[in-house]
Structures are given as structure tokens and as C-alpha cells.
């Protein structure tokens, strides 16, 4: 594989993501070990969240911004009618559904899963939805402006935000401190 194949194709991005997994695990271990030695509260949780939010988001963003076959040659395409693309995807068979729907749900799932553990301002599902929605909107706009031979779709924004929101709901029990004005659930918000 040439450098363009590694860095400019979805297959290359997936391969690189899998290959760096041992380094990611090592990074989590190293950060947690340092935090534990410093006496931090929840060193493993915070270390996993910091590394996980990057490892779980960057490859997806990289894939979204990977140019298509006619990048730069064709003008950007836009789909602003909600659910139109989703209906087309659902009619395309199970492989299309898995690739398109599941992938779009995972784009900002790490932000929803780990963001509230790191940033107190994100300890609310509606806030996670807004952050993921705005970030997704910016990515879709970048696809259009950069003429990447991709469709900028409102359905992608909706699915990206929904994935982050679902992940936030799943991680809610591990959020430190008060959650959305509710009393603390006995999980201390440590200095680390």
C-alpha cells in the first residue's frame, strides 16, 4: 500500500486505527499509573476517557473528510430534507444499513460516552446532543466546501448527534458529581 492508500482511503484509516490500538491501551495504562501515583481519584476512568474520546472520534472524522473518487472535480451535493437519505439507506439492504446507519451513530459516540466524564459542562444529554450536532454540522459543511465528492446530509447530522446522545445515556451512571441539577450519586469528582 502506498502512503495515499494508507491515509487517503477508508480501508487505510481502519487499518491504522486497528494497528495503533496497542499504543492506545499503553497510553491509558501509563496515564492511569501516573495519576494513581499522584493520588488522583478515579485514575483509570479519567485516563480511559481522555484517550478514548480521541481514539473513538478522530478515525471517524478522518473517514468523513477522506475525499471521494471525484473530489475537487464535482461540486458539493446537499440533502436538506430530513429522513430522505435515511429512508433510501433503509431500503438498500442490511449491509448498507449497517455501514451507513451504524457508522453515523458511532461518529461522535465517544464524545457522548467520555465527554461528560471529562467536562462538567457536558453532564447533560441535551448538551451532548447540541455539541455533537454542531460538530457534525461543521463536518458536513467542510465536506461541501472542500468538494470532497460526498453528500452533505441533514440525516448524517441527526444520526451523529443521536449516537452521541445514546452514548451519553449509557455512560450517565459514571458521571462524577451532580448530574443536571440532580443530587450527587456518591461518585467523587477527583482532582485527576
The model carries a pTM of 0.82
- Asked whether residue 28 is domain-assigned, the answer is no
Q: Summarize pLDDT for 103-131 with one digit per residue, the tens.
A: 999 999 999 999 999 999 999 999 999 99
Read off the pLDDT of residues 55-76 as tens digits, 9 standing for 90 and up.
999 999 998 888 877 766 777 7
Residue 147 confidence (pLDDT): 86
Query: For position 50, what pLDDT does the model report?
Result: 96
Residue 118 covered by a domain: yes
12: nearest Cα among 1, 20, 21, 24 = 1
- Low-confidence stretches of the chain (pLDDT < 50) are 179-192
What are the residues facing 78 on neighbouring strands? 152
Q: Of 131, 116, 128, 107, give the one whose Cα is nearest residue 49.
A: 116
Flag whether 62 is in a domain: yes
Host H or E run for residue 16: helix 10-19
Q: What string of DSSP letters covers 126-167? A: HHHHHHHHHHHHHHHHHHHHTT-S-EEEHHHHHHHHHHHHHH
Residue 10 lies inside a defined structural domain of this protein: no
| 43 lies in some domain | no
Distance CA 96, CA 91 (A): 9
Q: Which domain holds residue 64?
A: 57-174
Residue 85: inside a domain: yes
Q: What was the pLDDT predicted at 183?
A: 44
72 occurs within a structural domain: yes
Q: Domain count of the chain?
A: 1
Q: Look at residue 131 and tell me if it is in a domain.
A: yes
Amino acid at each position: 500500500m502506498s502512503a495515499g492508500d494508507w491515509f487517503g482511503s477508508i480501508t487505510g484509516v481502519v487499518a491504522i486505527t486497528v494497528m495503533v490500538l496497542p499504543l492506545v491501551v499503553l497510553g491509558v495504562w501509563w496515564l492511569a499509573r501516573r495519576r494513581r501515583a499522584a493520588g488522583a481519584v478515579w485514575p483509570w476512568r479519567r485516563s480511559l476517557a481522555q484517550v478514548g474520546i480521541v481514539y473513538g472520534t478522530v478515525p471517524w472524522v478522518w473517514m468523513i473528510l477522506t475525499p471521494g473518487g471525484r473530489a475537487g472535480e464535482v461540486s458539493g451535493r446537499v440533502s436538506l430534507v430530513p429522513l430522505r437519505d435515511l429512508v433510501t439507506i433503509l431500503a438498500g439492504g442490511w449491509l448498507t444499513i449497517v455501514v451507513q446507519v451504524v457508522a453515523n451513530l458511532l461518529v461522535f459516540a465517544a464524545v457522548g460516552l467520555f465527554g461528560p466524564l471529562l467536562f462538567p459542562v457536558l453532564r447533560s444529554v441535551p448538551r451532548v446532543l447540541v455539541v455533537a450536532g454542531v460538530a457534525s454540522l461543521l463536518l458536513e459543511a467542510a465536506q461541501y466546501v472542500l468538494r470532497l465528492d460526498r453528500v452533505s446530509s441533514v440525516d448524517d447530522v441527526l444520526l451523529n448527534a443521536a449516537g452521541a446522545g445514546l452514548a451519553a445515556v449509557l455512560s450517565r451512571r459514571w458521571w462524577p458529581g451532580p448530574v443536571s441539577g440532580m443530587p450527587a450519586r456518591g461518585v467523587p469528582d477527583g482532582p485527576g
